[in-house]
Copies of this chain bind each other. A is one copy, B any other.
Amino acid sequence: MSQKKSAPSDAPIEVLRLDNQLCFALYGAANRMTRLYRPMLDALGLTYPQYLAMLVLWEASPRTVGALGDALDLDSSTLTPLLKRLEAGGLVERARDPEDERRVIVALTDKGRALRDQAVSIPEKLFCALDMPLETMGALRDQLKTVAK
């Protein structure tokens, strides 16, 4: 029953099998999710991370770069260029906080606020595309929040 002998050095090692790895399941699911969103987001002119940043801003604008980074769990080295592209697209404005010149305040423009009207249909389209019961989805989401946190 118990197979304690060490495997020969060129035998497959069960613990390393790709199929068994949570990390790979996560990696693949995240990539597939991005691909699923892409056609819908193309229509809005947004990338997937840009969409997530807009979700945060639609909840509350203005926000500092740091606050956005906390919400998205991203560093300024990722966010700064992303926000500059949103600014170039006219969706946000960036300005130093007069109260504390270290901070940069990111605020939605009218165009950025207006884009939300086109985004509201996305979650439902995605829900259909995923074809997964709502409770399953919620449970999965809540479990994922606990991963590596």
Contacts and interface: CB of A to CB of B under 8 A. Distances in A.
A140 B143 contact: yes
A115 B26 CA distance: 24
Contact of A147 (B24, B32, B74, B149): B32
Interface string A119-136: 110011010011010001
A67 to B, nearest CB: 13
Copies of the chain in the assembly: 2
What is the interface residue range for chain A against chain B? 35 or more
B9 A58 contact: no
Contacts of A13: 58, 116, 120
B123 A73 contact: no
A52 interface: yes
14 contacts: A9-B116, A15-B124, A16-B55, A16-B59, A18-B55, A21-B55, A23-B52, A26-B26, A29-B145, A29-B147, A30-B30, A32-B147, A36-B148, A132-B147
Interface of A: 9-10, 12-13, 15-18, 20-33, 35-37, 48-49, 52, 55-56, 58-60, 71-74, 113, 116-117, 119-120, 123-124, 126, 129-130, 132, 136-137, 140-149
